[in-house]
Amino acid sequence: MSHEEETIERTLVLLKPDALDRGLVGEITQRFEKVGLKIVGMKMLIPSHDHAQKHYTEDLAIRRGEHVRNLMVDMLISGPIVALVLEGIEAVELVRKMIGGTEPKSAAPGTIRGDYSHVSFKHTDKHNSKLYNLIHGSSSVEEAAQEIAVWFDETELVDHQPTYTKNTLNK
């Protein structure tokens, strides 16, 4: 295995209902493509409660509390989502950097959350409301593998090399 192959990763991205409601799917997806990440899986669905709970595992409830988990599940099932599997060099870390901090208000300008969202934890806590922050990205390579398996069958992932890459490498 070459050094480059060792750094090629896959990661899960979920474009949440608020991203779809606001018509940001194309713009967000384009950011990932422009940086050189490759889409190897993509689908739109409205997750069931059980499916969303498989994504937001009991481990989350232990770390952040069952109430927070329930709010996150309710947000995820509140409308359609787009699930993506992206592939590229150190994709997990790159996607997390592009997404920005979990709290939109604190996310850096230039990140997806920093550019397209502004909700604060204080606001959601005060109103006991769901945190609409547009997007989810896996936080580690191990988590990415687990999350991809929740949303995609292996047969739904397409291993391909873009034509431009083939042409570039063969010259």
Determine, yes or no, domain membership for 83. yes
Whether the per-residue pLDDT at 93 is higher than 90: the answer is yes
CA 16 to CA 31: how far, in whole Å? 16
* Per-residue pLDDT, 4: 53
DSSP 106: G
29-33, 145-149, 166-170, range with the lowest pLDDT: 166-170
pLDDT averaged over every residue in the chain: 89
Determine, yes or no, domain membership for 65. yes
Determine, yes or no, domain membership for 33. yes
Could you read off the pLDDT of 49-86 as tens digits, one per residue?
A: 999 999 988 776 566 778 888 888 999 999 999 999 99
What mean pLDDT do residues 121-140 have?
A: 89
Determine, yes or no, domain membership for 122. no
Domain CATH for 93: 3.30.70.141
Least Cα distance to 54 among 73, 81, 29 occurs for 73
Determine, yes or no, domain membership for 59. yes
127: confidence class by pLDDT, cuts 50, 70, 90: confident
| Strands of the sheet with 81-89, listed across from one edge | 38-45, 81-89, 8-15, 135-137
Contact 36, 8 (CB under 8 A): no
28: confidence class by pLDDT, cuts 50, 70, 90: very high
| Domain hosting residue 23, numbered range | 3-99+130-156
User: How many domains in the chain?
Assistant: 1
What are the residue numbers of the active site? Answer: 136
Determine, yes or no, domain membership for 72. yes
